[in-house]
Structure 1
Amino acid sequence: MRLALTAVAVAALSLAGMTAATGTGSAASPTATTAVAPSDVPAPPAGFTTTWSDDFNGAANTGVPSSDWKYDTGPGSNFGTGEIETMTDSTSNVYEDGSGHLVLKALHDGSDPASGWTSGRIETQSDSFGAPAGGVVMMQSSIQQPDLTTANGAGYWPAFWMLGSTLRTGTTWPTSGEVDILEDINARSSVFGTLHCGTNPGGPCNESTGIGSGEQACSGCQTGYHTYAVQIDRSTSPEQIRWYLDGQNYFTVNSTQVDATTWANAVDHPFFIIYDLAMGGGFPDAFGGGPNASTVSGGQMNIDYVAVYNKAP
């Protein structure tokens, strides 16, 4: 969970998610590949078209283009998750590397490991990525998680996720919906997928925990590029959200798991996409703590491409 998380809530996520519903869906799965970077944006799966993509082919040490992205800057405490970094728009923290990648890098000033961190967080200008009634939308990205280990990566919290467009027009979180496509903490070589919805605290989605997959093994995700994707499928009954790692469906949430109004408010509208590399906060704390004296500066989240695909009704 990326917007308003507590350590207690995340601990509950880990336990509750282990028994969450899983399954496979009927729509086309993403291509099962481990990307060799840099790679082109993949062609859409059968029946889909490409709605939008970015393969990050800007010049070395340049920021992201303002036509497609905007920076979320300021102290991590602004995000309600207990993060300790300051997010900046500096090319020290957010830059294209000239070799087809976007890099989010966390840096430390050498002071107390519980302070003095900077990093990056960006979101798409567009908030139009969604599935119309009867259609399907898929968001997919090829990402290398920070190339660290549990010995030197405590506190790192990379994420690829989405927030409902209605958050930008006044609907409160989590009613507006949040879909976490990739989260990992403390360089555990794992992935978590989560839907946030309803009301906070509690409500039909057990906030601020949400409805989650629990921790899924992600072997090699620190050392290589893997694809992380989600499909929102409004062509099936009940409607579904399906999470994929390298094309394999590892978690599914059905609309019947919550009431119809909660689902519609959280899912049946467009979204905007976010990348961030947080340091510290409730999620890392729930799995052994945030940055410590062994945590290294300079860990980076590398993104090869992001794509949005749609399947018409």
Structure 2
Amino acid sequence: MIGLPAALFWAYATGSTFALAAARQLQFLERRAADRTGLPALLAPRLVSRAANPYLCLTLLYAAMLPVPTGLFLMWQNPSWSTMHIADGHRGVWAGFSLLYAGGVVLATLLGFLLAQALCLVGAGYWAYLNCAGGSFLLFGTLVHGWDGQGYRRFLTTDGAALRAWPEDSVVNNVLRFLTSGTFLTLLFLGAAVIGTMLLVEIGWLAEGWLLPGGAQDRKVPRFLAVAVAGAGLYGLPLAGALLASTLVRFLGYPAGLTVFAAVAGTLLLPRRSPVRGLYGLVGLPKAHWRATSDLVPGTRPAPA
């Protein structure tokens, strides 16, 4: 239910975020798989079907049942907006785009989930978070700046004519015109289902993980505050980064602007004592390898050396 140029970024970020939200459950499943099979701990996960992972199955079901059909509906209803005005109407949209969109959204969701899951299982939970934030940053960067600096204009106009007429009126009038359009009302209705379900799943899986061994100890703040911190880190920070990157590029140009942005982002995200790492540590997501859960799960045997 979003423009085609940004849809794959959103799908990748969604798959990554679903895996991160269920990180503790995924570690627990991996630990139990090794115990059930009686195989060496390093070999068991490879011989236990990943397709039986309920969190992966539910993630792909979400992608196939909500983002894909709503995106195809919007492409049919308003192909200009769905392509960010690359096409003016149905004649400008190649029929294969619908096929590529449907398959691409599911595939991007799958890739995002698998990479974030792999990072969580090896104990690189913070890097799994950066993977999620990176996908969201690319999504917001496309909507805010786009490939030509008009990303927000393309998002807030219903057709190519309105985009071309944007400079002739004030920003407020352009935004109000979009907010009273049928396209916005459709987005509002579909977004309640797509985004509402997405948030419910992410919060539900995060809260579910706190019930598992080690979850309550790792969470350093009350649950409501932990959810707020997680939301700010997964969506607020990437949006702020996209706005900052767009501003720097507009004033300094692409090479200098992106260089300055990379320096700022690296300072905030990468050091071991960075503020973002500190906030990540408050939420209660796992910080160790999945084999470390054997010390927390009653009745599990130690992992073989």
> TM-score normalized by structure 1?
0.26
> TM-score normalized by structure 2?
0.26
- Greater Rg over alpha carbons, structure: 2
| Structure with the higher helix share, 1 or 2 | 2
| Structure with the higher strand share, 1 or 2 | 1
